[in-house]
Amino acid sequence: MITRPRSLLFWLLLIIALFLIAKAPVETAHALLAVYHAVVGFFVALGVFFTVLASG
């Protein structure tokens, strides 16, 4: 499975990600953490919403 060839899109995204990490590591880390916190917050709020919906 590791020897299976990858698509062009995979390599393009990998090169862009590595370029961003090499060019601006602190800003990239802040952006990734912001996205992570937003996703976690969304799912926490969704859990609260479903809890309130189920109790009503």
Q: How confident is the model at residue 2 (pLDDT cuts 50, 70, 90)?
A: low
What ranges in the chain are assigned the alpha helix state H? 8-23, 25-55
Cβ atoms 21, 28 nearer than 8 A: yes
Better pLDDT: 5 or 41:
41
pTM of the predicted structure, to 2 decimals:
0.69
Distances in whole angstroms, Cα of residue 10 to Cα of each of 13, 15, 50: 5, 9, 36
Cα(43)–Cα(34) distance, integer angstroms = 14
Q: Is residue 37 pLDDT above 90, yes or no?
A: yes
Model pLDDT, residue 25: 93
